[in-house]
Structure 1
Amino acid sequence: MPESVLVAAAVGVVAGAVAVGLVVLLRRLVVSSKELGTDAERATYQTLHLASRAAKHLRGGVGEDDAVRASRHLRALLGCDGLAIVDPHGVVALDGDEVLRETAAALAATANAAGKAQVQRRIPLVARGAVGSGGAGGASGTGGRETDAAAAPILVGGRPVGAVVAFASPVRSGLVRATGEVADWVAAQVELGELDASRAALAEAEVRALRAQISPHFIYNSLNAIASFINTDPAQARELVLEFADFTRYSFRRHGEFTTVADELGSIDSYLRLERARFGDRLQVTLQIAPEVLSTVVPFLSIQPLVENAVRHGLEAKEGGGRITIEALDSGAFAEISVEDDGVGFDPETIREVLAGGRGAEHVGLRNVDARLRQVYGDEHGLVVETAIGAGTLVRMRVPKGQPRPEASAPAGRVTPSVE
């Protein structure tokens, strides 16, 4: 066979292989395109993706450094040439040409003063002091071109907290409306950030209230008990001082809204040792703890106040004292924790009012624990209280053994507390 024929055959084989490869590639592209959905579905996905990427950078407010990162995603979302987020002080987070910074601040001030979107036309893209397209002042090689801008105020609670400024050439009515919608969305993210900060402040205030409840009553009684042993039993007095130090160190620590069941029980042990020094044989304690629940994460000071409530309001008023039973049991995905006393008990209606926020400062520990459990885990995880006058009190909580939801917000509506 002539050599030319062999070469032609080889070329034909290669051409056929390339053709087959192209067909396979095109088929894959078509299949991949179908998997991504329609054009509208892909556009929706892209919009939501960019919005979610920007959201995490806006919770701290529009004046934070993260606003620069948010501006990049919002620029892509609007499809504009440049985008600026301006805070109330005129500080600009800009994604675009630096020569637009001053214009963005001025236009944002106008939009905030008017309380509605503003449009400015024919903005020169040359910095002040520039000579030609490359002079001093950094015109970035724009060559004296012009652009338009649309600015919309970011309104939180009716007050302007900044503005979104979009640059394009030209700015059409669709971009003006879209900029306004983006400004409203940014306002919603700022409000959520403020809500997070308020929730954190509320949680800290609740813990401070619990500490205030512990401080005056318990510290006074503990120091009196320690003083009573100084002369009669110095070794016992020293032990009680150490227990007092451990308890107060834990109760007044300044870090963390959460702790473990093991740490709470350690603090409770110190507390009960001090109370037994005061009560003597009048205070009996029974513990039933499953090792599996010791590492369960719970809100800080969520079990100890229940024990203190049992001592102060259940047993102190009972002649002859009584017994407190503390249980922490494993129940699959949950830890079942209960504190029971055989003290004087309460009128169930009184406890219901306490958990609903009434009855002043009495039982503040019980109320705050219930509120924090509902905030972190949901209303279905609030305290359950079984009590009756003369029949003692049982307080139960059911806590997920997984990590809590610190990002959970306080419930919009409060359900009726469970009191039996």
Structure 2
Amino acid sequence: MQTTACVALSLLLFALGYACARTRRHALPEGDRKDKAAFTALHVAAMAAPALRAGLDRESARKAVRHLRTLLGTRAVAITSTDAALAWDGPCTDDVLTYARTTLAAGRAQVFAGEPYGAVVVPLTVDGTVVGTLAAFDEEVSATLVRTVTELGRWVSGQLELAALAASRRRALEAEMRALRAQISPHFVYNALTTIASFVRTNPKRARDLLLDFADFSRYALRRAHDFTTLADELTCVDRYLLLERARFGDKLRFSMQVAPEVLPVPVPFLCLQPLVENAIKHGMRGRRGGGEVRVVIRDAGPEAHITVEDDGTGMDPECARRMLDGEPAREGGGIGLANVDLRMRQIYGDGYGLVVETALGEGTKVRLRVPKTQISAL
């Protein structure tokens, strides 16, 4: 990625240097001209990049093409897909689509003579596949212009590659969310409905209330997920989940929660807390005749919210915990939820924000999670 950035910078400076050489009107000292060219290139590139990062379509091409023309300093610039002219800036010839098809067939830069303007057309690629063309029109088509347009086409292709990577990342996050929902459904739903059924005859009102709690939990957990929700909403989801689990385990399940009010509005990834509580209850209650305790502590830590979910259960081998975070379910089942949350946190915030699991056999398990207070978009 650093190599790509360096190449992009050099080619942008090259492109702007060509444009400045064509349009220079004031005799500035050499050092001042270079500084001005560097600043202008970076500024114009920054204006064009966001549109290109949205992918190649009419809207993104329309927003980017004016800035690309500024970089080149040519009479006109056009962007096409493989079958249509998407956008242009300046007096563009009607032959642009014909030029594009010729370039697409050749798979490399093409030069076209014409009146009043000649053209340089280069292919745009994403992951080795040609997706469109970039065309520049000018009175004189020099070797320098050909090199400049070619290099600029590589930069545009790089931005489109980043757009494709962002789309792929979004699809991966959606797949992880589907996997998490699939993990919730067979385990929790069966246990919850079995518990509710047990109250139907002995305590109909309790059964009705639990059924409503189950409906609230399901509505939240199975809805079309946005990238983020608030910590307050996540805690409401956990509360509904706990009402059902307490009905199942009775007094054997002891649960405490300590939350700093300041962190309630903090944006968090959708469905990131309930799987941790579910895991704690599962491990905290396993094989415990006297029941178990689960504690949730959420502290305000300046730019972050720090979340701890701890149980006093049997614990596990640290190597087993590591395998769970790697996505390998433990022999006794479970672990998918932890691995899912860990992966999503790392994808959204970076590797430094994955789950930290502290555990040992006979020592219980503590899972720690850090969430930045500033929302980061899931690309």
User: TM over 0.5: same fold?
Assistant: yes
Question: Where in structure 2 are the equivalents of 1:62-141 lying within 5 Å?
Answer: 62-98=56-92, 100-101=93-94, 103-121=95-113, 123-124=114-115
1:404 aligns to 2:375 (yes or no): yes
Mapped to 2, the partners of 1:365 and 1:326 lie a distance apart of 17
Structure with the larger RCO, 1 or 2 (CA within 8 Å, 6+ apart): 2
Unaligned runs of 5+ in 1: 1-32, 125-145, 409-420
Pair 1:314 & 2:306 matched: no
Distance change in 2, residues 1:359/1:233 (3 Å): closer
Indicate the larger mover: 312-321 or 45-54: 312-321
Aligned twin of 1:39: 33
Instruction: Tell me whether 1:358 sits opposite 2:328 in the alignment.
Output: yes
Amino acid in the other structure paired with 1:150: V
**One-letter code of the match for 1:94?**
W
Provide the C-alpha distance between the structure 1 equivalents of 2:193 and 2:258, rounded to a whole number of angstroms: 29
SS at match of 2:48: helix
In structure 1, which of residues 290, 305, 323 is the aligned counterpart of residue 275 of structure 2? Answer: 305
Structure 1 residues 49-64: aligned runs within 5 Å: 49-64=43-58
Q: Matches of residues 323-342 of structure 1 in structure 2 within 5 Å? A: 323-342=293-312
Cα drift, residue 174 of structure 1? 0.8
Match of 1:261 among 226, 231, 249: 231
1:63: Cα distance to partner?
2.6
Residue 151 of structure 1 is matched in structure 2 by 121
- Return the alpha-carbon distance in structure 1 between the equivalents of residues 108 and 207 of structure 2: 71
CA 1:177/1:364 → structure 2, altered by over 3 Å: closer, same or farther? same
> Percent identical across equivalent pairs?
49
RMSD: 1.9
> How much does 1:255 deviate?
3.8
Equivalent position SS for 2:226:
coil
Alignment pair present for 1:169 and 2:161 = no
State the structure with more CA Rg: 1
Contact persistence 1:385–1:396 (CA under 8 A): yes
> What is the TM-score when the length of structure 2 is the normalising length?
0.88
C-alpha displacement of 1:407: 4.9
Q: What corresponds to 1:221 in structure 2?
A: 191
Give CA-to-partner distance per residue, 1:287-312, whole Å, 9 cap, x none: 11111221221111111100011122
Change (3 A) 1:290 1:69: closer
**CA gap 1:57/1:395 in 2 versus in 1, 3 angstroms:** same
Give the Å deviation of 1:231. 0.9
After superposition, residues 409-420 of structure 1 pair within 5 angstroms as none
2:200, 2:334 → 1: CA distance?
33
- The answer on whether the counterparts of 1:92 and 1:104 sit within 8 Å (CA) in structure 2 is no
For 1:346-401, what per-residue CA distance to the aligned partner results, in whole angstroms no more than 9, with x for missing partners? 1110111221233488411101111111222222221111111222111111222x
Structure 2 unaligned residues grouped into runs of 5+: 1-26
Instruction: Give the 3-state SS of the residue equivalent to 2:320 in structure 1.
Output: helix
Query: Which is further off, 265-274 or 246-255?
Result: 246-255
For 1:224-250, what per-residue CA distance to the aligned partner results, in whole angstroms no more than 9, with x for missing partners? 111111111111111101111111111
Aligned partner of 2:346 among 370, 374, 383: 374
Q: Deviations over 1:64-91 (max 9, x none)?
A: 3220221111111101111111101233
Q: Does 1:294 align with 2:261?
A: no
- 2:137 corresponds to which letter in structure 1? F
1:84–1:94 Cα contact (<8 Å) kept = yes
Aligned in 2, Cα 1:198/1:394: closer, same or farther, shift over 3 Å? Answer: same
**More deviation, 328-337/212-221:** 328-337
* Candidates 336, 356, 360, aligned match of 1:388: 360
Length, aligned pairs only: 349
**Runs of 4 or more consecutive aligned structure 1 residues displaced over 6 Å after TM superposition:** none
- Alpha-carbon distance, 1:221 to partner: 0.8
Amino acid at match of 1:186: V
Corresponding residue number in structure 2 for 1:204: 174
User: Deviation of residue 61 (structure 1)?
Assistant: 2.5
Is residue 225–residue 270 contact of structure 2 (8 Å, CA) maintained in 1?
A: no
